[in-house]
Structure 1
Amino acid sequence: MQHSFISKNPSVLVFLAILALFTLSVTLLSEGLGLGLISTSFVKTLGKTLCLCLIAVAMDLVWGFTGILSLGHFAFFGLGGYMIGMWLMYERTRLIVVQSLSQSEIPPTQSEVVDAIGNQIFGVVGSSEFPLVWIFADSLVLQLALVLLVPGILALVFGWLAFRSRVTGVYLSILTQAMTLALALYLFQNDSGLRGNNGLSGLQNLPGVSASQDAVSLWFLWASALALGLGYLLSAWIVSGKFGSAIRGIRDNEARVRFLGYSVVSYKLAIFTLTACIAAIAGALYYPQAGIINPAEMAPIASIYLAVLVAIGGRGRLYGAVIGAALVSLLSTWFTGGQAPDISLGFYTIKWVDWWLVLLGLSFVAVTLFAPKGIGGLVDYWTNRQTPDRHGADLGPDDGALREQEALK
């Protein structure tokens, strides 16, 4: 008897329902369309949190289910932000320049308009010419395509070189971290074409849109919630089928899966590239809400931070990745935003702005030592989702398959 995907995975429907209820509640309580109980800045924080949940789901796919500890996925996240940020900055600057030059007695030529735009964007790095990487910056459609193509191609090339060489474990993690560091160092240079350490700014302003930030923040919240819902649904569908069984097999025993005739390189390359694209979509939605992106966002520490989110939530559980990302993101905002009260010990005052990373590190160590399944393991416990007791069951073709002594191993 065939069962539908939802009937086999009821938790997906529960997650989508909670996400929809959350989005509706924030909308009704927001300043843009609702009662005004939630500020616009906090709506943006919630929208960015949803984007972090999406990249956490991608990280869980590649690490929790496939066993590839990538310390470079935040590079793909940042590249997605850069690709959409180029169009946002170009188009916003173009509108300002055109409006300014329209007041001239002699109408400006197209060349003069382009030069003025270039001077406005790249004057901060001592240039006025558009680099080659900005060739499609005037087209929203092409830049949206590049959001997927640039990180996807980078992941495809890097993954093919690494996986076909059978680089695994900590060595692969170091390689992904080196890739991220190399990319960040390149973008810090003024001649990278992306304004060096100044990055791209003013991304929160949608060109040609006269709506207030109250409304724009809600639009991005809805888009982030939709992306998270679709990304979660796609990820759950992948891990629940034969593909999911194959990547879990690679995680548990890559040599045995290869011996059985599976193309391990193809599976790892597919999941690495797919998760890079998901991360890029998350970044393309995150940075317009943040308003700015610079190379510091792509530093290796950011990818390590992402791994911590997934570990705390519980890797190998998609909902665990979401819980970990949401919890840590909101707590980080609370502790580093000056909302957490300082604690005076008499001889010393604990300021959470300075101690937040220490607290996060200690939480990661505690989870690793005492709760390796993360917060998601608590959800499993509460819902009684435990491994069935198969001790002594005949689960093979002969009478002695998986007897009690085998089950104890």
Structure 2
Amino acid sequence: MPDQATPTRPFAARHPSVLWFIAALALFTLGVTVLSEATGVGLISTSFVKTLGKMLCLCLVAIAMDVVWGYCGILSLGHFAFFGLGGYAIGMWLMYARTEQIVLDQMTNEVLPPTGTEIKDAIGAQIFGVVGATDFPVIWAFSHSLTLQLLMVVLVPGLLALVFGWLAFRARVAGVYLSILTQAMTLALALYLFQNDSGLRGNNGLSGLQNLPGLESVPQAQVSIWFFWGSALALGLGYLLFAWVVSGKIGSVIRGIRDDEARVCFLGYNVEGYKLFVFTLTAVVAGVGGALYYPQAGIINPAEVAPIASIYLAVWVAIGGRGRLYGAVIGAALVSVLSSWFTGGGAPDVDLGVYTIRWTDWWLVLLGVGFVAVTLFFPKGIGGLFDLVAHRVAPVRVGDYGPDDGAKRKEEGPAE
């Protein structure tokens, strides 16, 4: 007889790893807060607090990537594009509101008070003068409203993922063909954004995003810790959301789609609907991560949504261990911090006499070597090492769940 009490147990009791992660995240957030310049003893600089805040945002999009790839089996090479769209959405409001303040200050001493049209024209000239334009494009129609632009953070990535996913899944595109298609979507978006007439300032992108309108007198140390808290909260909520999704019936179905899509379809499940739900939900969460990331970075340009960024995202998840939410966090956190250290001048150059190794030039080579090494020697990623530490080595039995000899039992984890 199955244990009837198990389904009624609290979610946290059935998934203790979620509690461990939330506790670790809370402890990490508290530690950074105590050591920061704004609210603590000042042992951590403002720039490093921003680096850590950006790291948390990258962990959030890595979790989204892990759900769509590690759990559902869709290798999307375009999810960082949704991340960038979230950044563009919030960046439009930041640029508009900050430029509006500058324009109003300049017009204060004029004899005749400016009209609304004159103010808007002056704002447009300030923002788009760099690309030789003055008029506001249609896509900036809601840039004056923080509320509406926050909605765009969710709606724009979500609608793009919904339309793209509906067309792709309805056409039964899968496997490597779907990966190529997502990469093509990302490339098309990046090429469009590089154009000066895209309405988003082309190659110049949106800049000065770290300056919050109305809070110019607040030091950057304080602003950075605020964004760090927001990033930590978003990561915690995102982790809880996806842990809930992958642990219930939806999680069982999407893992079934990953392992044997045809069988799940024959069982009567709407495979396209489940894939579309996962693809759209993860795109929305990625957009939220981008909206928190780029105000900390201070600038966003089309290079941020180039296909290579989404490939890096897949590498992070593979290194951390796909199919494990905490593995995606480990991979993104480790690679992003090491990237900042090696490319930011933290790692000292190595003088070999005939040649000097400068890590700013060799970081990508090091990342590639690390990716190959993890793939060869730790196929389950760094997160898989926790299985060994906890003495939970994968069982030798394979196949589907069932009572027959050689079949895996429910308590031993997902079927192969």
Residue 351 (structure 1) shift: 0.6
- Residue 355 of structure 2 corresponds to 348
1:222 matched to 2:229: yes
| Structure 2 match to 1:38 | 44
Matches within 5 A, 1:161-176: 161-176=167-182
RMSD of aligned residue pairs (Cα, Å): 1.7
Instruction: Please say if 1:189 is aligned against 2:172.
Output: no
| Partner Cα distance (1:170, 1:4) in 2 | 39
Work out whether 1:272 is the aligned partner of 2:276. Answer: no
2:405 maps to: 402
SS in 2 for 1:239: helix
Alignment counterpart, residue 107 of structure 1, candidates 113, 116, 139? 113
Deviation at 1:33, TM superposition (A): 1.1
How much has 1:148 moved relative to structure 2? 0.5
Unaligned runs of 5+ in 1: none
1:93 alignment partner in structure 2:
99
1:4-403 matches, cutoff 5 A: 4-209=10-215, 210-387=217-394, 395-396=402-403, 401-403=404-406
Residue ranges of structure 2 left out of the alignment (5+ in a row) = none
The separation in 2 between residues aligned to 1:162 and 1:75, in whole angstroms, is 17
Q: Deviations over 1:299-323 (max 9, x none)?
A: 0000000000000000000000000
Q: 1:300 to 1:395 in 2, by over 3 A?
A: closer
Contact 2:402 2:408 in 1 (8 A): no
Structure 1 residues 369 and 403: alpha-carbon distance in aligned structure 2, compared to 1, 3 A threshold: closer
Q: CA deviation at 1:405?
A: 12
Letter in 2 for 1:293: I
Equivalent pairs counted in the alignment come to 402
Q: Return the offset for 1:386.
A: 3.3
Q: Deviations over 1:233-256 (max 9, x none)?
A: 011111111100000000001011
- SS of structure 1 residue aligned to 2:279: helix
Q: Secondary structure at the match of 1:261?
A: coil
Shift of the 179–395 alpha-carbon distance from structure 1 to 2, 3 Å rule, reads closer
CA deviation digits over 1:182-225, x for unaligned, max 9? Answer: 00000000111000000000000010113110100000000000
* TM-score (norm: length of structure 1): 0.96
How much does 1:381 deviate? 1.2
- Output the amino acid matched with 2:50: K
Return the TM-score normalized by structure 2.
Answer: 0.94
Taking every aligned residue pair, what percent have the same amino acid on both sides?
A: 72
